[in-house]
Amino acid sequence: MLARLGLAWLAMMQVMMFAFPGYLRSSPMSADEVSLLDEAIFLMNWCSLVLTVPVVLYCAWPVWQGALSRLRLVHVGMDVPVALGIVAAFVPSAVATWTGQGEVYFDSVTMFVAFLLTARYLELCARQAIGVGGLHRIIEQYRLVLSARADRIAVWFTLGQLMLAFAAGAAWSAIEPSHAIGVMVALLVISCPCAMAMAVPTAVAAAHASVIEQPGLSQAQLQRLVQATGKISQQNLYGSMAWHFLMTPLAALGWVQPWLAAVTMLLSSLAVAANSWRLYRGQSRALAMPWRAAAESA
């Protein structure tokens, strides 16, 4: 996991540097400067293609595995829109590089994969934290209920986002074909419910960390902790959905580039992790107060 994550970040940073000449294409310049810049863009696009191929084939390999397994079960999970987003951005970019015509999105592809793997690494850390120590049965039972609810919401959300992405791509193909792929890729990136997938695991991990830190909890304290965990999980879930709903119309209008969609995906995942950390810190302080009071009175 860390090898894929590290390679994705290294490739992303280098591809972003290679993409810089393309950002200058709209600047006013002479014909000779434009010709020289086009040659640099052509060379940088090929360099970006070489670096993006291992990101797509190696770093994103878990995505391909997950998408294929879901499709075999005729079930749309979060890996399906992710895989579609990668294909929709990489294939036209490779064709544009080969022909020397058209826009490329290698920076968006590498950034998307790097941020996606970062979000999943945070989720993995949360799941590993859940499995540490003697965990309370009540919290685990409550986690199953919360996870089932979050999964149902994520599936319907993903289906709706997929339909919207293809509809917007078709609409932009009729209005402005040059923007169709960018809009569809941005919407496919936004459709990845990574933050929603982290909503419950991170909150439950924070709850277990609080229990491990204060093992002598009473039943009433444990019940309050479970209620707080459910509240934070709902905040994570519905907050990430609100963020998606805010970005979706902007992306459909062509105001959000694919790379910016990838950034917003990472930010929403980090916000979920930070909110769950707030649960841990708040519960740690609340649970520590009776212990401190007892120690001071003794």
**pLDDT tens readout for residues 219-236:** 777 778 888 888 888 888
Over the stretch 189-229, which tens digit does the pLDDT of each residue have?
Answer: 777 666 777 777 778 777 777 777 776 767 777 778 888 88
| 11 pLDDT above the threshold of 90 | yes
* Per-residue confidence (pLDDT) for residue 32, from 0 to 100: 74
Give the global pTM: 0.67
CB 262 within 8 A of CB 108: yes
Percentage helix, strand, coil, to 5, in the chain?
Answer: 85, 0, 15
Query: Two tokens at 202?
Result: 């991170």
Buried b / exposed e over 240-278, threshold 16 CB at 10 Å, is: bbebbeebbeebbebebbbbbbbbbbbebbbbbbebbbe
SS3 25: coil
Alpha helix stretches (DSSP H) within 176-214: 177-190, 194-213
**Structure confidence at residue 27 as a pLDDT band (50, 70, 90):** low
Task: Return d(Cα 251, Cα 188) in angstroms, integer.
Answer: 10
Q: What is the domain partition of the chain in residue ranges?
A: 2-297
pLDDT at 171: 92
- Contact (Cβ atoms closer than 8 angstroms) between residue 229 and residue 209: no
